[in-house]
Amino acid sequence: MSDFDHTASPEALSAAVLGWLDLYWDTQHRGPLGEPEGNQQLWRQKVFDAGLAVPSWPEEWFGLGMKPAQCKVIEKAFAERKAPGAGLDRYHLGAITVFKAASDALKREMLPKLLTGPICCLLYSEPNAGSDLAGIRTRAERDGERFIINGQKVWTSNAAEAEYGMLLARTDWDVPKHRGITFFLFPMKQQGVEIRPINQITGESEFNEIFIENAVVPERFMIGKLNEGWASFQTAIAYERLIMGQGITERRRGASAKGRSPLLELAAKTHRLQDPVIRQRLAQALAYREVNRLNNERAKRDMMTNGSLSLMSLSKLAMSRIQHGEAAIATDLLGPASLLDGPDNADPANTNFDAAKAYMNSIGGGTDQIQRNIIAEKVLGLPKEYEPDKGTSFREVKSDAGSRNGE
């Protein structure tokens, strides 16, 4: 069925994909050829039907059975023609989780929808369950062949566009916290789902709070088994942390151009490039970024050769040090001007934004402190800390101000 041969050479594959794109995609108008409206839905369907949305997945699951290097060729061809829709097997967290953890029936029913629709939102964190995510209190109660959901979620991006959310909810309160959680594919467009944007310290509002009151999920939308959602969730979150360290949360401003550093440019502009103290700090900042790139290269080689993820786990920590550090230097370079902001003061405004945005990397996807625990325990093999809630039914576990979850 597929036009793309997974035994083809990289050159042949690239030519085949580019040829396919030229047949259906209008690079100049950034839309499907002959579709003046630029119908996104239609385009996603087209990419999906060709197997190009998730090329690394097997053919019976909408993919092409391609190796990572071949997927890269495909994504590169899409990038060359400025066409969206490739690489969903790398960043469509919802579809990836369903593919890896859901039943065949759910996969068959929902993957075509998820992969051709808007990206799924993530309904994980709650006001009382941040670093201790397994402490969620949104409840899912069985009602015949469906579940009724009540609770509150937070830090959800793309909530308004998403048709489905990846929901973690508590289905058993009388077992220890990890064992009473179920993972659901949650329909967002229904009664009882209220979305409120959060005003973030950067001035952006990419995240939302979600209030859920008596909303409904069909039983067949359960991902994995009842009360076994935590394991499936681990797959999903590991992936999210991995992509954080690549600096995806950074403001784009052409910084990736080789030999250019926005920080050096700012130092030149503020006439501090000859200051030996500033020079030391600039060198250190550039070095952290450069060595993170070198670490990531090694991490990728490690992952390819022996599947080791230990180096990968470091990049999120490294990225925090880079972003907070660069913002601090930029602030000092600007001096008193850094108190200004707004469109008339681009350099201070950018620096203020970066200083705030750095927390996105050091808090989002689990704080750096949680990440240090993960590195210490999973990579270095250090023992877990004493856990007062271990083995205790969730209802009995202490919450804020010493009350209990069940009270």
Partner 1 sequence: MSAIQESERTAIQEELVRFLRAEAGEDTLRSGMQSDLGYDHAVWQKMAEMGLLGIAISEDFGGIGGSAVDTAMVAEGLGRSLLPVPFIETCVIAPALLEASDMTDESRKILTRIAQGTATIAIGGNADIVPFRDPDCRLAVKADGTMSGEVSLVMHGGSADFLLLAFHSGNQTRCLLVSSDHDYTIENQTANDPALRPAKISLADVPFIELTGWSNDNFEQAGWQGIVALSAQQTGAARAIFEITVDYLQTRYQFGRPIGSFQALKHIAADLFLEVESATSASQAAARALASKAPQTAQSVALAGFLCNDAFREVSAQAIQLHGGIAYTQEHVAHLYWRRARATLSMFGDSDLHREAYLSAWEAAA
Q: Which stretch binds partner 1 (CB under 8 A): 5-13, 176-184, 246-254, 368-376?
A: 368-376
> How many Å apart are CA 318 and CA 322, to the nearest integer?
6
**Shortest distance in whole angstroms from residue 275 CB to partner 1:** 12
Active site residue 297: no
Which of the stretches 16-24, 141-149, 159-167, 311-319 binds partner 1 when contact is defined by CB under 8 A?
A: 311-319
DSSP-assigned letters across all residues of 281-319: HHHHHHHHHHHHHHHHHHHHHHHHHH---TTGGGHHHHH
Closest to 139 in 3D by CA, of 40, 32, 227: 227
Question: Can you tell me which of 41, 205, 214, 284 binds partner 1, judged by CB under 8 A?
Answer: 284
343 near partner 1 (CB under 8 A): no
Residue 63 near residue 6 (C-beta atoms within 8 A): no
154 within 8 A of 172, measured Cβ to Cβ: no
Q: Which is nearer to partner 1, 97 or 371 (CB)?
A: 371
Complex with partner 1: residue 264 or 340, whichever CB lies closer? 264
- CA distances for 194 relative to 120, 151, 153, 160, 182, angstroms: 16, 11, 10, 10, 22
Is 377 a binder of partner 1 (CB under 8 A)?
yes
Q: DSSP assignment, residue 221? A: G
Residue with tokens 């092409």: 64
Of 5 and 297, the one with the shorter C-beta distance to partner 1 is 297
Q: Does 308 bind partner 1 (CB under 8 A)?
A: no
Residue in this structure with the two tokens 């064992």, named with its chain if needed = 179
Closest CA to 245 of 162, 360, 140, 403: 360
Residue that has been written with the tokens 């050091």 in this structure: 362
Query: Is 292 or 405 the residue whose CB approaches partner 1 more closely?
Result: 292
369 scored as a contact of partner 1 (CB under 8 A): yes
Q: Does 309 bind partner 1 (CB under 8 A)?
A: no
Q: Per-residue x/- mask for partner 1, residues 257 to 276, rule CB under 8 A?
A: --xxx--x-----------x
Q: For 404, which DSSP code?
A: B
- Judged by CB under 8 A, the residue of 1, 386, 388, 407 near partner 1 is 386
Should residue 254 be labelled a site residue for partner 1 when binding is judged by CB under 8 A? no
Which single residue is written with the structure tokens 């972003």?
323
Joined together, the tokens standing for residue 115 give 């992969």
How far apart are alpha carbons 26 and 56 in whole angstroms?
Answer: 25
Q: Which of 371, 394, 397, 405 binds partner 1 (CB under 8 A)?
A: 371
Based on the shown chain and the rule CB under 8 A, indicate whether residue 388 belongs to the binding site for partner 1: no
3-state secondary structure of 28: coil
Q: Does 294 bind partner 1 (CB under 8 A)?
A: yes
> Interacting stretch for partner 1, rule CB under 8 A, among 16-24, 165-173, 336-344, 384-392?
384-392
Catalytic, out of 109, 163, 204, 240: 240
Contact footprint for partner 1 (CB under 8 A): 259-261, 264, 276, 279-280, 282-284, 286-287, 290-292, 294-295, 297-298, 311, 314, 317-318, 369, 371-373, 375-377, 379-386
**Active-site amino acid positions:** 240
